[in-house]
Amino acid sequence: MKSKLSEISTVIIVNKSREPKTIQIKSKHLSRLRHYAAIVVGVIVILSVTVVYLRSQNAQQEEEKDRLMAQITKLKIAIPPPAIPQTKTNTAQNYIQSIEAKLQKINDYLKKRGLKGFSNKAVGGNGNTEGAKLTDEETYSLYDEYLSRLVHSVAFTPMGYPRISSLTSMFGYRSDPFNSASAEFHPGIDFRGAVGDEAHCTANGKVVFAGWYGGYGNCVRIAHANSYETLYGHLSRITVKVGQEVTVGQKIGEVGSTGHSTGAHLHYEVRLNGKPINPIKFLTLNN
């Protein structure tokens, strides 16, 4: 069935170079032309917004990528480089060098105090031809044996304070406390204290005297290794006996004022081969 004439519209297309053309279109399409135009414009707008949004998202992703790369760079800088693996030989040499350095320090401290240093010659082979033949275990064993001897020697050498307090009299000549007009030689140092305060031995040893000893009053003498002896005088009470083995820091008596004394204090001497030497050298390793 043919469309009615009122339902068809004629559109004339004019072209200067050619003859005009006519196109027949249903009238309903012409009435909907605005709607078609609005739809096309809407699609264009949607496409434009989508393009802008995608560009924005891409820019944000690039910024995030740059930020993450910067963080990775910082972390790489912060991470320390891997340690160079040491061979067993290098590790052994480092241990030995560390031990030798500490032994040298001990010797330096002892020499400052007037004591003979401990020789470490030939310990661990001392780097000579014979020493080069030793295994790591043999080298460690030699150093361990040497250090054991060193510890034993230090334990039997008088060091430190028989009583932690201030000094009231020093080693050497001084005025006689009973006669200021004359002088006397003071063979030790005196520590301030009250009657009953504890006195302690300063090294491992053996008690060789415990009793009244002339001007020293109640006195304890202890023999140590290396020809050393310590003396503790003017005690109010003696807590050890002759022949007893004592260890460093052990209580040997209590402070008093017996014998040639003007008040409670502890008289302390260090003797080498029977002769008194200045105990100040033995109070700390740094003297």
Sequence ranges of the domains in the chain: 1-57, 109-155, 167-282
Q: Tokens 């503790």 belong to which residue? A: 232
Q: What residues of the chain score a pLDDT lower than 70?
A: 1-6, 9-18, 23-34, 76-93, 95-96, 108-134, 136, 149, 152-153, 176-182, 285-287
Domain 167-282 has CATH 2.30.30.280: no
pTM of the model: 0.54
Phi, psi at 164, each rounded to 5°: -80, 100
Beta bridge partners of 247: none
What is the 3-state composition of the chain as percent helix, strand, coil, each rounded to the nearest 5? 40, 30, 30
Residue-wise pLDDT for 223-261, tens only, equals 998 889 999 999 999 999 999 999 988 999 999 999 988
- Which residues lie closer than 8 Å to 274 by C-beta, 6 or more apart? 229
| Cα distance between residue 113 and residue 111, in whole Å | 5
Residue-wise pLDDT for 209-233, tens only, equals 999 999 999 999 999 988 899 999 9
- Which residues lie closer than 8 Å to 251 by C-beta, 6 or more apart? 198, 199, 200, 239
| Cα distance between residue 52 and residue 49, in whole Å | 5
